[in-house]
Amino acid sequence: MTLDVRDIRIGYDGRMVLHGLDFQVKQGQVLTIIGPNGVGKTTLLRCINAMLKPQTGTVLIENADVFKMRAGEIAKRMGYVAQRNDAGRMTAFDAVLLGRKPHLRWRVSDEDLRKVDAALNQLDLKHLALRHIDEMSGGELQKVCIARALVQEPAVLLLDEPTSSLDLKNQLEILRIIQHIVHEHQLTAVMTMHDLNIAIRFSDALLCLKDGSIFFCGNCDELTAEIVQQVYGIDVDILCHLGNTLIIPR
């Protein structure tokens, strides 16, 4: 399912944050938004999910305007994982089950329970299913939130810094799972990330923001040292090691 972002302009507190953004994310593609702190990466994700309404512009899913959809309809089409998540007094199983809410009718079905169980297994959370999420580490809670988004069965997956609370092993594990799910089930995914090396490794395309505008949008192998220098203000070398692209500050 194709995601189209057209002429998005959004601001608050008397200043413009995003200036006329246009881009498209294709089905089966992971697009990662990169750029300096405060450039508007999270604002853009929240706008795509209609949590923030822009001054101008539209977000389309297969030509359907997200800003004209009801909240329940958006929840069926989009799964959103925030960078920070509050932990309430509920078990991991119940927290993930909440992701089925847009699909529930009169009761929780056996199929809903099977989908929750499968998501917990996929993210290696089965042993934590009955633990309260307010007793979990930040990384464990983040994995629960990702599982909750996956059981929504969205066509579009939005993830704001999905690995920010995870150690290196869990970062790689989570991103491999996301990449596999997107490619295997032909979803559309948009992530934000600070680590350029991780972003390049697990993305199909990059969108780089600078001063609230798109400075670069293209395939990962099109990112150059000059682009990184102009956006982040540091000199880097871009090397290939064992088939992986590495960005190394000088």
pLDDT at 98 over 80: yes
pLDDT at 243: 87
What sign has the CA pseudo-torsion 239, 241, 246, 250?
Answer: negative
pLDDT mean over 118-143: 88
pLDDT at 85: 64
- Helices 138-151 and 168-185: crossing angle in degrees, nearest 10, is 10
Q: Which range scores top for mean pLDDT: 27-31, 112-116, 151-155?
A: 27-31
199 close to 192: Cβ distance less than 8 angstroms: no
Lowest mean pLDDT among 83-87, 167-171, 191-195, 233-237: 83-87
Instruction: Write down the mean pLDDT value for the chain.
Output: 90
Dist. CA 63–CA 45, nearest whole Å: 18
The superfamily (CATH) of domain 3-249 is P-loop containing nucleotide triphosphate hydrolases (3.40.50.300)
pLDDT at 14 over 80: no
> Is 0.85 topped by the overall pTM?
yes
Kindly tell me the burial class for residue 30, based on how many C-beta atoms sit within 10 Å of its own C-beta (0-12, 13-18, 19 or more): buried
Residue 29 CA to chain centroid, in angstroms? Answer: 12
**Per the structure block, which two tokens stand in for 71?**
């909240």
pLDDT at 88 over 90: no
Q: What is the DSSP string of 114-168?
A: HHHHHHHHHTT-GGGTTSBGGGS-HHHHHHHHHHHHHHT--SEEEEESTTTT--H
Dist. CA 82–CA 28, nearest whole Å: 21
Distances (CA, A) of 106 to 13, 102, 154: 43, 12, 21
What is the pLDDT confidence band of residue 84, given thresholds at 50, 70 and 90? low
pLDDT at 87: 61
pLDDT at 50 over 90: yes
pLDDT mean over 51-62: 92
pLDDT at 209: 96
pLDDT at 46: 94
